[in-house]
Amino acid sequence: MDEFALIETLVRGLPGRPEVIVPAGDDCAVLRPAGDDRDWLFKTDAVVEGVHFTPDAPPEKVGHKALGRCLSDLAAMGGQPFAAVITLGLPASFQPDHVQRVYAGLSDLARRHQVAVVGGETTRSPGGMFLSVALWGWVPRGRAVLRSGARPGDAIFVTGELGGSAEGKHLDFEPRVAEAWWLVNHFDVHAMIDLSDGLASDLRHVLRASGVGAELLKRAIPISRAARRAALRSSAAKPPLVAALTDGEDFELLFTVAARDAVPLLDAWKKAFPGLRLSCIGKILAEPTLVLRDRQGVQPLTLQGYRHFAETPSDPET
């Protein structure tokens, strides 16, 4: 067990209450207070200078990213946002203008998604800026989409294009809240997750939670232009397919539906979201394995996505 897995175990042993339907471990927690006709979603996340953004990143984009990450997690539950609170850690030498710009970027995104921002604590931070966001949202009672619902035979979909997010998208992605809401209101979505650690890792979260496996179709993986450009620019860069499978911070949705829904979904999606690609990238298997199919046949997929505390990046493959 690595250190990160150990922490996950610790977090799962946290105190509960009878109202907790889904504890820590999915994209959001789900709570059902007595006398309420909704299930409530609760999530926190942080961005840290030197980890999630560089000191020269535009402050508006730092604010955008901090809230956007939480909104992406909320989308992955099929939820609607409600309210957020912010903690901003600032070095002693901070510029008020910088803070104003962080809040402007965060507020713009909040307004677009009808998020009330109802708290903003500010604290000193000797080690550079950080921004922690907690988001509170809801789903109709019993309608949260979990990671654990994938079934053998399901078709696996991803929105958008993957890889190369570090080239820019990681700072100005649009969380897929509207798309997820449309999905859960038009189709029976079995399982969903947002892609934050990279397809290879995030799909494994779904497979583990659902007790299933998957076969991905190599030529169906939607590779971003940013990942292709990075590979052309430097021979040290990941091959584009590896980038699409392992780069973090795509903030796209991965979800599964019954195979019979796959074609109707693709047709309806094209009308609803003509500007956003939707790809069927494979299918769920009963056996707990993860394989990649290409013209030569099927091989195990051992690639890993982003490791939060890894000292070295994962080995490239293919």
- Binding to a copy of itself by residue 3, rule CB under 8 A? yes
> Does 293 appear as a known binding residue?
no
Residue closer to a copy of itself by CB (options 94, 181) is: 94
Residue 235 marked ligand-binding: no
Q: Which of 57, 58, 85, 172 binds a copy of itself (CB under 8 A)?
A: 85
Secondary structure of residue 233 in the 3-state scheme: helix
User: Going by DSSP bridges, is the β-strand pair 80-90/278-285 parallel, antiparallel, or unpaired?
Assistant: unpaired
Q: Figure out which of the listed residues 32, 39, 78, 83 binds a copy of itself, where binding follows CB under 8 A.
A: 83
Q: Is 27 annotated as a binding residue?
A: yes
Closest separation between CB of residue 197 and a copy of itself, Å? 12
SS3 77: coil
Question: Which residues within the stretch 234-253 sit at the binding site for a copy of itself (CB under 8 A)?
Answer: none
For residues 24 and 14, the answer to whether their CB atoms sit within 8 Å is yes
**Cα(89)–Cα(93) distance, rounded to whole angstroms?**
12
Residue from 14, 271, 275, 300 touching a copy of itself (CB under 8 A): that is 14
96-112 helix and 59-75 helix, angle to the nearest 10 degrees: 30
Contact flag: residue 55 with a copy of itself (CB under 8 A): no
142 contacts: CB under 8 Å, gap ≥ 6: 39
306 annotated as belonging to a binding site for a ligand: yes
Task: Check the annotation: does 45 bind a ligand.
Answer: yes
Cα–Cα distance between 293 and 300 in angstroms, integer?
A: 9
User: Which of 48/276 has CB closer to a copy of itself?
Assistant: 48
Q: What is the footprint of a copy of itself within residues 185-224 (CB under 8 A)?
A: none
Q: The tokens of 259 are what?
A: 């195979």
Contact 91, 124 (CB under 8 A): yes
Q: Residue 137 half-sphere exposure, CB side, CA atoms within 13 Å?
A: 30
- Evaluate whether 47 touches 69 at the Cβ level (below 8 Å): yes
Cβ nearer to a copy of itself, comparing 117 with 284: 117
Stretch that binds a copy of itself, among 80-88, 165-173, 213-221, 257-265 (CB under 8 A): 80-88
Residues 6+ apart with CB under 8 A from 252: 158, 159, 160, 161, 162, 176, 194, 195
103 is in an annotated binding site: yes
Of residues 116 through 155, those in contact with a copy of itself by CB under 8 A are 116-128, 130, 132, 134, 136, 138
The residue type found at 36 is D
Closest approach of a copy of itself to the CB of residue 89, in Å: 6
Query: How many residues of this chain bind a copy of itself (CB under 8 A)?
Result: 72
Please enumerate, by residue number, every residue annotated as part of a binding site for substrate.
Answer: 52, 249, 306
Which residue ranges make up the annotated binding site? 27, 44-45, 52, 73, 103, 147, 194, 196-197, 249, 306
Cite the annotated binding site for Mg(2+) by residue number. Answer: 27, 44-45, 73, 194, 197
